[in-house]
Homo-oligomer: A and B are copies of this chain.
């Protein structure tokens, strides 16, 4: 079993509450990575929808982050909202025991609509072209030994992440300030990408605000992703960008292309950021 499949494995039976174990290996800073938590939530919803007779590909999902998930046991409570001829919808609550008391605390509430990606694999009428990246071997390997900022990011051990040098200047104190980071990415253990792992990859990179000179954390408030096609095996290309950084909030958009150059997923998240005062900024 791959590290990813192990991370989204669920105890209990589809149709009822599910259990999961969040491990140290997917931690980033002070919390379990939002992407892996979202992939886990989508898995629980997918299995509930399939148990109710619905289709099993998440076409769209939204994750609302309510508190920082910690390594340890988690409980997932899926609810099937509707099963239809071509689409079905579900929600799920992800809760953990509260360190500070006898009660539980909700980490994440998510919703998703499922369908059949094969039925959507029609003509590509219009599509964002993939970014022109240097070969993976000509890109910068992002690993925990490479830079100070990366030491606390255990998640990087799970990924083979190669940053486009043109958008990685922030790692050496020279952010491009274009609000854009591009990279090749795949799972470090060689597991190939599929529709179920795309929700994870949409939130697997560093915050795009690194490229604006803000090297602090940018906690996700909400993330909505669309899965547009099944990815072919091989490297994924990811581009994250932002256009609006206002007060303490920004949107981060992500697009993923597979090894054939096809758009396979995209997302937008609302995140918090503390911009360094030296960056200026005007009304």
Bin chain A's interface residue count: 35 or more
- Copies of this chain held together in the complex: 2
Q: Indicate if A121 sits at the interface (CB-CB under 8 A).
A: yes
Contacts of A270 in B (CB 8 A): 59-60, 113, 226
**Contact between A121 and B82 (Cβ–Cβ < 8 Å)?**
no
A266 contact from B120, B122, B244, Cβ within 8 A: B244
Contacts of A248 in B (CB 8 A): 119-120, 122
Q: A81-B106, A222-B60 given as contacts; is B126 within 8 A of A242 (CB)?
A: yes
Q: Indicate if A245 sits at the interface (CB-CB under 8 A).
A: yes
Contacts of A281 in B (CB 8 A): 123-126
Interface with B: A61-69, A160-168, A189-197, A199-207, which one?
Answer: A61-69
Contacts of A120 in B (CB 8 A): 246-249
**Contact between A224 and B268 (Cβ–Cβ < 8 Å)?**
yes
Mask: chain A, 241-255; 1 = CB below 8 Å from B; 0 = not? 011111111110000
CB-based closest 10 A-B pairs: A122-B247, A123-B281, A120-B247, A125-B281, A125-B245, A62-B62, A224-B224, A126-B245, A60-B222, A128-B243
